[in-house]
Amino acid sequence: MSDSDPLLALIGDIYDAALDTALWPVVLEKSCAFVGGVAANLLAQDSVKKSAARFYTWGDDPHYTQLYIDKYAALNPLFPAAVFFPVGEVISEADIIPREEMQQSRFYKEWMKPQGYIDMVGCILEKSATSVAPLTVVRHERNGYVDDEARRRMGAIAPHVRRAILIGKVIDLHKVEAAAMADTLDGLAAGMFLVDATARIVHANAAGHRMIANDKVLRAAAGRISAVDPAADRTLQETFAACGIGDAAVGERGIALPLSASDGGLYVAHVLPLTSAQRRHASIAYAAVAALFVRKAGLDAHSPMEAFSRKFRLTAMELRVLLAIVNVGGVAEVAESLGIGEGTVRTHLHHLFEKTGARRQVDLVTLVAGFANPLVE
């Protein structure tokens, strides 16, 4: 059976959720049905503090979700290794940790197994210096392990969810009425432009007008917006044209698009299609096919644990043992937490000492703390 119709409807709902956050549970429910799973979530997990923050969930047991936040986020063997995967890449548990190792962990035995969970398929939507925000669809025993079809379907929706999440952060409002979008967003610090398929500006907020007047990152010749950076401008023009066709045609274009300014500054652009679902009201009211958001880019910092792992060439298991030592404690406690023998922990600990030059566990903790400090180079 073709999945094109439910996919198009789901993509429309995803972009509507960028403007109305109350729609995210509905989006997650439909994502479960499309990808194949029993629960879905948008969480942020800190790879250093081993803590989690819940944004939106569907199909989860609130009791177990709270247990995850309070206790099991620190025991989840998928982190921090998941941080090393590129933003946008579709991953399953088996890509991060061997299934046998996962099933021996306390996290699996105490949190996953009681709920009948056996696998997950997801995508990292955003990474910062200390945390990741993934979209995850959880597989139950009745769904079976993640297969190629589940991966394909996750890959079909992931870029659209990422775009919606990033635009939602720019807007930072609980709800925006699409028909009044231009007026409502006039006070945004980010530049905002409503454009048609030919890049003609039909509305710009105050910050947008200032960007055009500065003529360093964006220009408006004959009323049509363009980027000073030629390569970025080609992508922008293609994205606007695709928006005129429909949500699915946009694909991965116009997501966190870097824009170089003539003075050396770096900006980032996000394009939101406006021609489908609830967003059609803005399209009708302003003859626009897309909303363009542009703001100055922040520093692209790597995860401290990613930097630590690369510097000392740690394996995934060595990194898990290291983080368990920092967060859990001694050899016996680490062995119980990871579901491995104490002898195995000591072997990995010996390798950690050899690679880092540390002599004691407290020295390892000190090293990790140093990398977690943003003032340490």
- Domain ranges within the chain, ordered by starting residue: 4-171, 178-296, 304-372
pLDDT above 70 (res 261): yes
Q: Percent of the chain at pLDDT above 90?
A: 33
Residues 6+ apart with CB under 8 A from 230: none
Question: Tokens 């880019």 identify what position?
Answer: 297
What's the pLDDT band for 374 if we cut at 50, 70, 90?
very low
Identity of the residue numbered 196:
D
Tell me, what's the pLDDT at 91? 94
Distance CA 191, CA 255 (A): 16
Question: Tokens 């942020």 identify what position?
Answer: 44
Distance CA 33, CA 190 (A): 35
The phi and psi torsions of 23 (rounded to 5 degrees) equal -85, -10
Sign of CA dihedral 216, 220, 224, 230: negative
Tell me, what's the pLDDT at 176? 46
Token readout for 273 is 């299609």
pLDDT above 50 (res 373): no
The class of domain 4-171 in CATH terms is alpha beta
The class of domain 178-296 in CATH terms is alpha beta
161-178 pLDDT, tens digit per residue, is 988 887 776 554 444 444
Angstrom CA distances, 365 to 18, 35, 243, stand at 40, 40, 50
For 28-47, what is the mean pLDDT? 91
Q: Are 88 and 252 spatial neighbours (Cβ–Cβ below 8 Å)?
A: yes
pLDDT above 60 (res 284): no
Identity of the residue numbered 220:
A
Tell me, what's the pLDDT at 48? 60
Strands 266-273 and 290-296: antiparallel
More confident residue, 88 or 323: 88
Fold of 304-372: Arc Repressor Mutant, subunit A (1.10.10)
Q: What angle do CA 40, 126, 313 make, to 5 degrees?
A: 110
Strand partners, 293: 192, 270
Range among 76-85, 163-172, 183-192, 233-242 rated most confident? 233-242
What's the pLDDT band for 80 if we cut at 50, 70, 90?
confident
- 8-state DSSP, 86: P
pLDDT above 50 (res 375): no
4-171 matches 178-296 in fold: yes
Sign of CA dihedral 72, 108, 60, 20: positive
Token readout for 235 is 């992508």
193-216 pLDDT, tens digit per residue, is 888 989 999 888 888 999 999 999
pLDDT above 60 (res 282): no
Name the least confident of 92-101, 144-153, 215-224, 365-374: 365-374
Q: Are 291 and 240 spatial neighbours (Cβ–Cβ below 8 Å)?
A: no
Burial class (CB in 10 A: 0-12, 13-18, 19+), 70: exposed
Its pTM surpasses 0.75: no
Q: Are 167 and 192 spatial neighbours (Cβ–Cβ below 8 Å)?
A: no
Distance CA 2, CA 80 (A): 37
Name the least confident of 205-214, 290-299, 349-358: 290-299
Q: Are 153 and 3 spatial neighbours (Cβ–Cβ below 8 Å)?
A: yes
Tell me, what's the pLDDT at 170? 56
For 95-114, what is the mean pLDDT? 93
More confident residue, 138 or 97: 138
Range among 3-7, 41-45, 110-114, 345-349 rated most confident? 110-114
Residues 6+ apart with CB under 8 A from 147: none
Q: Percent of the chain at pLDDT above 70?
A: 82
pLDDT above 80 (res 124): yes
Number of H helices, E strands in the chain: 17, 12
Tell me, what's the pLDDT at 307? 66
